Every structure is written in structure tokens, then in C-alpha cells.
């Protein structure tokens, strides 16, 4: 609900602050006092475009701020969080319209685009004024209203799930058909790629091992010469390291007779000689294993080059070649089993379409039942609002094409307010007063349904009076049990029913006209109702009539 409204430098309004109450709020005042500016301000807060001619003469900009109270854990809170404007139980919207410059919107102090504001504020309030194009004229909204009235949430969820299932099945079939285009050519190409991979038959880790082997074979002459020479120098020649260590060891053993400490050193030299002998034998065995085979080197060189060419061709390594081979084999299997896959996908689409059709049929049946009930209920409400011979129809017709996300129906609200005029769409209701009362009848039937927190009625009393005015006021009172109502009215019968009464007046100061809004206390309210009755509150008879009218509510 709208808790607080602040308006600065908007046409006749210089600085205005209003605290609205829950329930039924009535705004009254002389024609031209500025009541419609309150509606204009609310339109701006809900995302309607503003123009620089709204700025009060002499001011740099016009500003409108509205503080809305929102329910905890509401869908609006979730949307605000997702849009980056987190809120708890309060939502502050601010519009700034400069006399010359770019308009700005703020949501909880953060800059927002006008489109985002309009989307997020859609459920805050609904303004219904003369010739105002409102949301209930939109076919999709009419469908949602009917579904809310009929409590079709579960059926709508089933329809959405069935539609999604059909959409997924159709997407899978389309993907399969796309992949099947040029299937024979694709199979030939895949077979050629696989043949190249399978002929080479790379194995995991092969290239690394092959590289090491080639490194050895390319330098086998150097390796053989080095191994033989090293073995000779270590052990086999007359002046080998082994022979020299033997002489050193014997000398140390001889000297150890005179100093036992040298015996340990002689043992170390002996151990070194043993290690040298073992190293020499290892080198000799290594040299015997080296077998210069040019054919083997040529074969392995060719294998290495073939692997490198294939890896370069596919821009991958050895592991990538193996992964590519597995992927090609899977794709080949899919294409080869295309007929079976296509048949299965087609059957899935048919089954999903049948489920969607069944869900749509259930929803259509429920909608038609709810449409008849809703039509009778609105017609009854219209009769109490001076449309005794009015008719209201909720027309549910088949929509073209297969069932969509919302089912297989087109929903249209049609109304005949006057005999002989025929039944027309809501958008063709000519009179603003008739339109407002029609909306009031709908809101009365839909009271308690839907997320909108505040309903604003402008000129709902146009062209009525007497008992009909009382009936309109009572309907507003009933709607206000479930939603905050702000009503601009000229009729005392309606204003007397309000929970809170505000008076809009204009006055002149320093050669400038200014509008102001004041909440009336009990005494002031009697005076205003007396004025609206066409008299002076000082007149005892008029005052008594005003007091009686208020008590009667």
C-alpha cells in the first residue's frame, strides 16, 4: 500500500506531503483544485513517462516520492532482489523531472531505468481514471484475472510443465534433424578420419617413449664408443683406474703395519676398486647391447613423424588424438543409428503434444466454468451500480495453433452497459464514468485476488448520484477490505464512507497559485461533506444532513 506521498514543484503543487491510511481514502475538493495531480504523481511513480511541462514555473525540476509498504516474502520482494534493488518491508520510489535535462528514476535510492521501474512497480498500484488505458484491457491480463478468479494455479502449472516437455522434445527432434542433414557425407568424412587414426593406432604414452628411443638410436655410435672407452679406462687397460687403485691399496696395507690407522683407508680404496670393476662390467654389457640397425631407426623415425603430423593436423596432443577417436566413434554410431533415433524423437514429440493437449483441455474446461460464474458475478455488481440491464461476458475461445505456455485459449472480457449497443471489448467502453464503474465492479468481484496493493479511482462517480452513488461508495468500501483504495470523488455519499478523508484546495500567495492537501479531522469532515451537499456548514439543516450521512456509513 502507499504509505507516504511527497510532491515538489509539480504544476500547482509547490511542496505537498500526504500520509495515506489503509482501507478507503477519499480525496475531495473543488474542481481545478489539483486533485488530478495526485493521480498524475502516482502515474509517475508507476513508471509512466513525464514531460518537462509538468515542472512548476520557475523551478529547476519536479520531484515525486512514494513510500510503499510491501508484504514480507512477496513476489515483488523477489523481483526487486533479482533486479538488484533489495527491499525489506518498504519500497521508496522517486522520480525527478527536470525543466531541461534527462529524467531520473530511483528505487530505494538507486538509479533505475524507466522500463525497470514500470516492470517492478506494476503490482504496487492500479490507477483507473477517465479514459485511462489500464491493464485489464490487455488480453493476457484478462486471462490471468480469470485464472486467479477460478483458482487455476495448479492447472496452469501442469500446462506450463507439459508445454516445456513438448518444447524440449521438439528441440531434440530439430537438433537430430539438423545433424542428419548431409548424413552420408558426414559418415564418409568421419570414416576417413577414423581410418587415419585407426591405421596409425596411437597408444597412450607412446610418443614420449618413442622420442626417448629415437634420441638413443640417433647417437648410438657415440654411446658405443663412450661405453667401450670408459670400460677400458676403468678396468681393462694396463694403466686402468682399477690397476692404479690396486697398487695404492697394496701400498697402504704395507704401511699399515707401522700405523694401523691406514688400514681403514686401505679398505676404502679396496671398496672403490670393487665399484670401478662393477661399473666397467656394466659398461661392457651396455656396449654389447648396442646394435646399430639403420632399418629400425628409419622405421621409428617414420612412426614419430606420422604421429607429429596427425597431432599438428588436429591441433592436439597424443591424449587428444585418443579422445578424438572416441568422439568420432560415438558420432558415427549416432549417425548410423539415425533412423531409430529419429523415430524415438518423433514418438517423444507426439507423446509430449498429447500431454500438452490434455493439460490444455483441462484448463479450458475449468476456464469456461469460471467464465460463466465470473460473468454472472460482475453482472450482479453492475446492476448495483445503475447498470440494471448491463451484461458482462468472459469469452473463452480457441487460440490458433497448438497449446502454448498458457494453454489453448484466448480470453476476452466483453461488456454491454446499455441496451441495444451490443457487446464490446472493454477497450470500446466510451464513457470514462462507465469505464470507472465497470472497473469497480470487476475489482469488487476480484477483491482479495491478485498482488496489486493499491487501487486508485479517479472520477468513478461521473454521471451518477443518489442511491447509485451510495452503492458505488459501498462497493469501494468492500474493495478496501482487501486493498488500499484512493478515490477522488465529488459525491458526499462516497466521501462519507471513507476511512480517511483528505481535502484538496488551492490558494494564492505572492501572486502564485498553490495546491495543498490536508487530512480532515471529524469537525472538518462534517464541514466538507456539508459543502459537497451544496450548502454551508453553518446552516444547521445542512450540517445535520452531513452528520447524518457520515453516521449512516
* pLDDT in the model for residue 132: 45
Of 59-63, 392-396, 508-512, highest mean pLDDT: 392-396
Judge whether residue 225 has pLDDT over 90: no
Q: What is the DSSP string of 312-329?
A: HHTT--HHHHHHHHHHHH
Most confident of 310-324, 369-383, 507-521, 538-552: 369-383
What is the rounded CA–CA span in Å between residue 52 and residue 36? 17
Please say if the pLDDT value at position 133 is more than 50.
no
Query: 446, 178, 201, 487: which is closest to 321 by C-alpha?
Result: 201
Q: What is the 3-state secondary structure (H, E, C) of 218-278?
A: HCHHHHHHHHHHHHHHHHHCCCCHHHHHHHHHHHHHHHCCCCCHHHHHHHHHHHHHHHHHH
CB atoms under 10 Å from CB of 382, counted, come to: 26
Residue 462: exposure state from Cβ atoms within 10 A (0-12, 13-18, ≥19) = middle
pLDDT higher than threshold 80 for residue 60: yes
Instruction: Flag the least confident range among 156-160, 184-188, 362-366.
Output: 184-188
Percent of the chain with pLDDT over 90: 13
Section 179-201 average pLDDT: 80
**Residue 32: which region, alpha, beta or left (left: phi > 0; alpha: psi -120 to 50)?**
left
pLDDT band at residue 162 under the 50/70/90 scheme = very high
CB 433 within 8 A of CB 488: no
Indicate if the pLDDT at residue 407 is higher than 90: yes
CB 451 within 8 A of CB 74: yes
Distance CA 487, CA 24 (A): 8
CB–CB of 474/497 below 8 Å? yes
Q: How much is the average pLDDT of 467-481?
A: 79
Q: Work out the mean pLDDT of the chain and round it to a whole number.
A: 82
CA dist 124 and 135 (Å) reads: 13
Residue 333 has pLDDT above 50, yes or no: yes
pLDDT (0 to 100) of residue 537: 61
CA distance linking residue 156 with residue 394, whole number of Å:
18
Helices (H), 446-501: 466-479, 492-495
Rg of the chain's alpha carbons, rounded to an integer? 46
Q: Is 381 exposed, middle or buried (CB count within 10 Å of its CB: 0-12, 13-18, 19+)?
A: buried
Has residue 215 got a pLDDT over 80? Answer: no
Give the mean pLDDT of 498-512.
83
- pTM given for the model: 0.57
pLDDT value of position 538: 65
Pick the most confident of 289-293, 462-466, 471-475, 507-511: 471-475
What number is the average pLDDT over the span 79-87?
80
What's the confidence (pLDDT) of residue 135? 62
The percent of residues in the chain predicted with pLDDT above 70, rounded, is 90
- Which range of 142-151, 176-185, 338-347 scores highest in mean pLDDT? It is 142-151
Asked if residue 448 has pLDDT above 70, the reply is: no
C-alpha cell at 204: 597412450
- Residue 22 · residue 62 · CB < 8 Å: no
User: Which residue did the predictor score with more confidence, 434 or 70?
Assistant: 70
- Torsion angle (degrees, nearest 10) of CA 466, 467, 471, 472: -20
Q: Mean of the pLDDT values across residues 80-106?
A: 84
Q: With a cut of 70, say whether residue 397 has pLDDT above it.
A: yes
Chain centroid, CA 212 distance in Å: 57
Mean pLDDT calculated for residue range 153-160: 93
Q: Give residue 356's pLDDT.
A: 94
Question: Average pLDDT, stretch 450-477?
Answer: 74
Residue corresponding to grid cell 469469452: 395
Q: Using CA atoms, how far apart are residues 519 and 525, in angstroms rounded to an integer?
A: 9
Q: What is the C-alpha to C-alpha distance for residues 240 and 224, in angstroms, rounded to an integer? A: 19
Q: How far is CA 74 from CA 77, 140, 160, 474, 483, in A?
A: 5, 22, 22, 29, 15
Q: For the chain, what's the residue count?
A: 553
- Mean pLDDT within 390-397: 91
Amino acid at each position: 500500500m502507499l504509505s507516504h506521498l511527497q510532491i515538489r514543484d509539480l504544476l500547482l503543487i509547490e511542496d505537498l506531503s500526504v500520509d495515506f491510511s489503509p482501507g478507503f481514502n477519499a480525496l475531495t475538493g473543488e474542481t481545478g483544485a489539483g486533485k488530478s495531480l495526485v493521480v498524475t504523481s502516482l502515474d509517475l511513480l508507476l513508471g509512466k513517462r513525464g514531460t518537462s511541462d509538468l515542472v512548476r514555473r520557475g523551478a529547476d525540476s519536479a520531484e515525486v516520492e512514494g513510500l510503499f509498504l510491501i508484504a514480507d516474502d512477496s513476489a515483488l520482494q523477489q523481483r526487486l532482489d533479482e533486479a538488484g534493488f533489495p527491499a525489506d518491508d518498504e519500497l521508496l520510489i522517486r522520480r525527478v523531472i527536470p525543466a531541461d535535462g534527462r529524467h531520473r528514476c530511483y528505487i530505494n535510492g538507486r538509479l533505475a531505468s524507466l522500463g525497470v521501474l514500470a516492470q517492478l512497480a506494476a503490482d504496487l498500484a492500479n490507477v483507473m481514471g477517465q479514459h485511462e488505458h489500464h491493464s485489464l484491457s490487455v488480453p493476457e491480463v484478462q486471462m490471468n484475472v480469470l485464472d486467479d478468479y477460478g483458482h487455476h494455479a495448479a492447472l496452469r502449472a501442469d500446462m506450463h510443465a507439459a508445454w516445456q516437455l513438448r518444447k524440449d522434445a521438439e528441440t531434440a527432434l530439430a537438433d537430430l534433424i539438423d545433424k542428419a542433414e548431409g548424413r552420408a557425407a558426414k559418415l564418409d568424412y568421419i570414416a576417413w578420419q577414423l581410418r587415419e587414426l585407426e591405421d596409425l593406432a596411437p597408444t597412450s604414452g607412446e610418443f614420449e617413449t618413442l622420442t626417448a628411443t629415437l634420441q638413443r638410436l640417433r647417437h648410438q655410435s657415440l654411446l658405443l664408443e663412450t661405453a667401450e672407452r670408459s670400460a677400458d679406462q676403468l678396468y681393462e687397460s694396463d694403466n686402468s683406474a682399477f690397476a692404479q687403485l690396486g697398487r695404492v691399496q697394496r701400498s697402504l696395507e704395507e704401511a699399515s703395519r707401522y700405523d694401523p690407522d691406514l688400514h681403514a683407508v686401505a679398505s676404502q680404496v679396496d671398496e672403490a676398486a670393487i665399484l670401478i670393476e662393477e661399473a666397467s662390467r656394466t659398461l661392457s654389457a651396455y656396449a654389447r647391447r648396442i646394435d646399430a640397425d639403420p632399418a629400425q631407426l628409419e622405421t621409428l623415425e617414420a612412426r614419430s613423424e606420422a604421429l607429429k603430423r596427425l597431432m599438428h593436423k588436429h591441433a592436439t596432443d597424443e591424449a587428444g588424438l585418443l579422445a578424438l577417436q572416441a568422439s568420432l566413434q560415438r558420432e558415427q554410431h549416432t549417425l548410423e543409428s539415425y533412423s531409430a533415433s529419429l523415430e524415438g524423437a518423433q514418438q517423444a514429440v507426439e507423446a509430449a503434444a498429447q500431454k500438452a493437449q490434455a493439460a490444455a483441455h483441462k484448463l479450458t474446461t475449468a476456464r469456461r466454468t469460471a467464465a460463466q460464474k465470473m460473468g454472472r458475478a460482475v453482472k450482479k455488481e453492475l446492476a448495483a451500480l445503475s447498470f440494471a440491464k448491463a451484461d458482462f461476458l468472459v469469452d473463452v475461445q480457441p487460440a490458433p495453433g497448438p497449446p502454448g505456455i498458457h494453454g489453448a485459449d484466448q480470453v476476452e472480457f466483453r461488456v454491454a452497459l446499455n441496451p441495444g449497443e451490443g457487446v464490446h471489448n472493454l477497450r470500446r467502453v466510451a464513457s470514462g464514468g462507465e469505464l470507472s464503474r465497470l472497473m469497480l465492479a470487476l475489482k469488487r468481484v476480484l477483491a482479495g485476488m491478485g498482488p496489486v496493493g493499491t487501487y486508485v479511482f479517479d472520477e468513478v462517480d461521473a454521471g451518477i448520484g443518489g442511491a447509485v452513488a451510495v452503492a458505488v461508495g459501498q462497493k469501494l468500501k468492500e474493495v478496501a477490505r482487501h486493498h488500499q483504495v484512493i478515490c477522488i470523488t465529488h459525491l458526499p455519499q462516497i466521501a462519507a464512507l471513507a476511512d480517511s478523508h483528505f481535502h484538496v484546495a488551492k490558494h494564492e500567495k505572492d501572486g502564485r497559485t498553490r495546491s495543498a492537501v490536508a487530512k480532515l479531522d471529524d469537525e472538518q469532515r462534517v464541514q466538507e461533506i456539508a459543502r459537497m451537499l451544496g450548502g454551508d456548514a453553518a446552516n444547521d439543516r445542512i450540517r445535520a444532513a452531513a452528520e447524518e450521512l457520515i453516521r449512516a456509513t
